[in-house]
Amino acid sequence: MDAAAARARLDELWGRGRAFLGCEHALMGGAMTWVSERRLVAAMSNAGAFGVVACGAMNPAQLGAEIDATFAGTNKPFGVNLIIMHPELDRLIEVCLERRVGHIVFAGGMPSSKAIKRVRDGGARVVCFAPSLGIAKRLVRLGAEAIVIEGSEAGGHIGPVSTSVLAQEILPNLTDVPVFVAGGIGRGDAIIAFLEMGAAGCQLGTRFVCATESIAHPKFKRAFINAAARDAMPSVQLDPLFPVIPVRALQNKGTQRFADTQREVIARFRSGALTQDAAQLEIEHFWAGALRRAVIEGDTEYGSLMAGQSVGMVTKEQSTTEIIAELINQAIEALRGRCRNGHRDE
């Protein structure tokens, strides 16, 4: 198989994802708060992938300005990621629909059927995250038009199941809608493996943190370039009475301080100095603002360095176009290798 035939085969494998997203490559950008903003999103879409704006804690006016600025940087399709726990979710949906954003990605839990219907009635397409086959099927019944399955290798807030296991459980059993695989993906040959299992495309975040178009602080990028996969670890919960939603990030002094803070707060609770609710709130507020301090201000000692385990494959700063071209070339070579090994060269 020559390179042209391999490219044609790749386009066939992720044809469903390309058609759904409306782009050349069925590669979704992971929505990383403070990182996935207008510049990186526009650069990804301009390079043929599908950028996704991370709304995070933006208010409606801020999100509107971000969408407008992204449209100013690209005429290609992109999406917006909305956290369903946001107190102004309804208005954020309206902001997206008013600006004719083509795809809305709901994250952080199970969106209501009302929210899904509002998006679809407004002319946008609905993408949802699913941590299990049962939830994925329920979301499809509610109206989700595509599903993202994200394994525990991902950066930021994570579930308990690995990408490879989720893919094996879900891809053969959910064929009604396109399914995109995410979590720990950093090479094109891995993308091919998931496409051949039935995925419509893949979502990548960590690989693009060190894109030249990323506004992440140089110190933040340097931490990624210097890190190995084993450095991206989930946050630790010290007491089941005080649950901590696992967050995968590079270990630093802030990580140790979080563990120390949990011990101190729990001790105060046990001594009667704090109620359980007050103690839980203090633990939950520990990381408030820490991601911005790391990404924007460059506090890599005490800020939150959210990263997926694919961080070990981030070895230098590259343009978004170069990263995508590298992934595509790896995918094509993987397909050609399969033919050579099977003596099916064309």
Sequence-ordered list of residues with C-beta below 8 angstroms from that of 3, at least 6 positions apart, any chain:
332, 336
The reply to whether 119 and 233 lie within a common domain is no
The reply to whether 139 and 225 lie within a common domain is no
Total-model pTM: 0.94
**Average pLDDT along the chain:** 96
User: Which pLDDT belongs to residue 342?
Assistant: 60
- Residue 83 lies in domain: 3-204+316-341
Is residue 66, in this structure, part of any structural domain at all?
A: yes
User: Which pLDDT belongs to residue 346?
Assistant: 43
Q: Are strands 247-250 and 156-157 parallel, antiparallel or unpaired?
A: antiparallel
Which H, E and C letters describe 147-199, residue by residue?
EEEECCCCCEECCCCCHHHHHHHHHHHCCCCCEEEECCCCCHHHHHHHHHHCC
Write the CATH number for 142: 3.20.20.70
- In one-letter notation, the amino acid at residue 108 is G
pLDDT digits (tens, 9 = 90+) for 110-129: 999 999 999 999 999 999 99
pLDDT digits (tens, 9 = 90+) for 211-266: 999 999 999 999 999 999 999 999 999 999 999 889 999 999 999 999 999 999 99
Is residue 213, in this structure, part of any structural domain at all?
A: no
The reply to whether 177 and 224 lie within a common domain is no
Number of domains in the chain: 2
The reply to whether 332 and 298 lie within a common domain is no
The reply to whether 230 and 252 lie within a common domain is yes
Is residue 211, in this structure, part of any structural domain at all?
A: no
Is residue 346, in this structure, part of any structural domain at all?
A: no
The reply to whether 63 and 188 lie within a common domain is yes
Closest to 143 measured CA to CA, from 127, 155, 130: 127
